[in-house]
């Protein structure tokens, strides 16, 4: 009996996800390379919770999205690719055929340019799977210059990318430009149509 209990304990221990698999903190940087805050991500039952605390934005609303690659090369952060969209949907939380997995509600910077907000990336995960924010090499979190209108293609007319944080599958990996090419957001996913 003692042997059975020990084996069960070993199996249960191996099946447990480590805390680092369920929570990640990423540093957010502006185009000059200055760290301006953090985003803490936590696995939840209905998606990934994002606790965002940043400064240095213009007061008002700003679009925020997860992008394809964990690469934040300033000043424009185009190295991050397009919005994370593993299912080939249209952009925008208000679009009837949307939304991208990486789409989130706008955040509001206060009069000093600070944001302290909690968001949800519905349907996403930090674990393995098609909707993982850590698929491939990982993703990046981008905050835009202005508000996302929630429907315009391909990115909601949210303006320039002004803050970026890298969410790497392997947090110890060196920052390198991804060898993958960004997807074309104007093309539909042929597999989804079949």
Counting every residue, how long is the chain? 194
Predicted pLDDT at 186: 40
* Residue pLDDT, tens place only, 33-85: 999 999 999 999 999 999 999 999 999 999 999 889 999 998 999 999 888 87
pLDDT at 15 over 70: no
Q: Please give the average per-residue pLDDT across 171-194, as a whole number.
A: 46
CATH code for the domain of 27: 2.60.40.200
pLDDT at 12: 41
Domain annotation covers residue 189 = no
**Pick from 162, 153, 191: nearest CA to 75:** 162
Cα 70 from Cα 119, distance rounded (Å)? 20
Note the pLDDT of residue 175: 45
Q: Is residue 33 part of a domain?
A: yes
Q: Read out DSSP for the chain?
A: -HHHHHHHHHHHHHHSPPHHHHEEEEEEEETTS-EEEEEEEEEETTEEEEEEEE--PPSEEE-EEEESSS---TTT-GGG-SB--TT-PBS-TT-TTB--TTB---EEE-TTS-EEEEEEEET-BSSSSTTBTTSTTEEEEEEESS---SSSTTTTT--SEEEEEEEESSTTSPP---SSPPP-TTS--HHHH-
Q: Does residue 9 register a pLDDT over 50?
A: no
Beta bridge partners of 23: 42
Residue 140 lies in a domain: yes
pLDDT surpassing 90 at residue 20 = no
Residue 177 lies in a domain: no
> Does 181 map to a domain?
no
pLDDT at res. 36: 96
Residue 13 in domain: no
- The domain of 37 spans 18-172
Q: How many domains does the chain have?
A: 1
191 inside domain: no
pLDDT digits (tens, 9 = 90+) for 81-130: 888 877 777 666 666 777 766 778 899 999 999 999 999 988 888 998 88
In this prediction, what percent of the chain has a pLDDT beyond 70?
71
Write down the pTM of the prediction.
Answer: 0.77
Does a structural domain hold residue 164?
yes
Asked whether the predicted pLDDT for residue 8 surpasses 90, the reply is no
Q: Per-residue pLDDT tens for 132-155? A: 889 889 999 999 999 987 766 676
């Amino acid at each position: 009996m003692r042997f059975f209990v020990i084996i069960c304990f070993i199996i249960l221990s191996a099946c447990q996800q480590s805390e680092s698999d369920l929570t990640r903190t990423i540093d957010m940087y502006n185009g000059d390379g200055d760290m301006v805050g953090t985003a803490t991500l936590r696995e939840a039952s209905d998606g990934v919770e994002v606790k965002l605390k940043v400064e240095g934005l213009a007061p008002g609303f700003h679009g925020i999205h997860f992008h394809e690659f964990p690469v934040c090369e300033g000043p424009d952060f185009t190295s991050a690719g397009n919005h994370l969209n593993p299912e080939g949907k249209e952009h925008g939380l208000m679009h009837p055929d949307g939304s991208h997995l990486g789409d989130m509600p706008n955040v509001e910077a206060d009069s000093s340019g600070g944001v302290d907000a909690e968001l949800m990336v519905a349907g996403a995960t930090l674990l393995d799977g098609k909707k993982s924010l850590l698929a491939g090499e990982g993703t990046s979190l981008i905050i835009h210059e202005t508000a996302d209108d929630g429907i315009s293609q391909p990115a909601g007319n949210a303006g320039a990318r002004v803050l970026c944080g890298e969410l790497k599958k392997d947090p110890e990996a060196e920052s390198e430009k991804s060898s993958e090419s960004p997807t074309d957001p104007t093309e539909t996913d042929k597999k989804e149509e079949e």
